[in-house]
Structure 1
């Protein structure tokens, strides 16, 4: 069960935004990621609880940022309930999308598990509901994912497979690289892995 800490920063000016203390693990029917987020000063800033089924679909999402909360799941596309800071007015949403995304590294792993790409295969288009900090405002985004290559790196615990993805934002044309090792993000825009206590979990049959 990998445990560790990510640092999150603005990908443009590198302003520190938060630390995300996480643990994650595959289970009998999918994968779960749980994390607590703190500000650079150490104050509590939110949490992530994401469970995927064996096909990589979100069967349970609970996301907190400040006083805002979103609960969601894959249902007729994706469905969610967003609660305001007072708790008096909850709003529901539903979009014909494949999954959710947000600032947490968990959602990069989740999208990769959902798509199950192979090196050299054509890029795959995916529609996601992005829950945007700091108020978890939902918006629909379209991305294209391609698995450029997979390389084995020798470690004390055996070979570590690192996957390099190219992710394109279809509304802007912006492209960026995402490097994953199993269920751990090694590097991505705005994300840095600072600490990892156990090896990543492997999902690959190939």
Structure 2
């Protein structure tokens, strides 16, 4: 069960935003990721609890940021309930999309797991609903993912394969690189892996 923490920063000017402390695990029914986010002062700012099924579909999502909360799942596309800061009102949403995304590194692993791009096969398109702190307002976006390389690295146990993806925002044309090893993000815009106490899990 990988456990560690990421540092989070503004991808444009590299202003530090805080840290995300996580643990995740694969199992016969899929993958689960749980984390807590902290600001630069070390204060708790939110949490992520994401469970995927064996095909990479989000069967349970619970996000907290400030006083906002979102619960969602893949149902008739993706469906969610977003609760306001007072806790007295809730709004429901449903979009014909494939999965969720947001600021957490968990969503990069989840999207790669859902799409499973093949090396040399070109880009795969995906529609996602994004929830971004601090207010977790939903936004639908389209991306394409292409697997550019898979590089094995020797370790004390089994070889560790690092996958490099090119992710394109289909609205703006902006491209960026995402580097994953199993269920851990090695590097991505605004994300750096700072510690990891056990090797990443591999998906079957």
User: Structure 1-normalised TM-score?
Assistant: 0.98
Could you list the runs of 4 or more consecutive aligned residues of structure 1 that deviate by over 2 angstroms after TM superposition?
none
Give the superposed CA RMSD.
0.7
Question: What per-residue deviation string (whole Å, max 9, x for no partner) do you get for residues 84-141 of structure 1?
Answer: 0001110000000000000000000000000011111120000000002210010000
Kindly report which structure 2 residues correspond to 1:159-198, keeping only aligned pairs within 5 A, or say none: 159-198=159-198
- Give the equivalent residue in structure 1 for 2:4: 4
Shift in Å, 1:203: 1.2
Shift in Å, 1:35: 0.3
- Give the equivalent residue in structure 2 for 1:49: 49
Matched, 1:199 2:204: no
- Mapped to 1, the partners of 2:180 and 2:73 lie a distance apart of 24
Matched, 1:60 2:60: yes
Question: What per-residue deviation string (whole Å, max 9, x for no partner) do you get for residues 131-182 of structure 1?
Answer: 0221001000000000011010111222100000000000000000000000
Kindly report which structure 2 residues correspond to 1:15-54, keeping only aligned pairs within 5 A, or say none: 15-54=15-54
Kindly report which structure 2 residues correspond to 1:1-150, keeping only aligned pairs within 5 A, or say none: 1-150=1-150
- Mapped to 1, the partners of 2:107 and 2:196 lie a distance apart of 18
User: Structure 2-normalised TM-score?
Assistant: 0.99
- Mapped to 2, the partners of 1:142 and 1:8 lie a distance apart of 23
- Mapped to 1, the partners of 2:89 and 2:17 lie a distance apart of 28
Q: Unaligned 5+ residue runs, structure 2?
A: none
- Mapped to 2, the partners of 1:50 and 1:138 lie a distance apart of 17
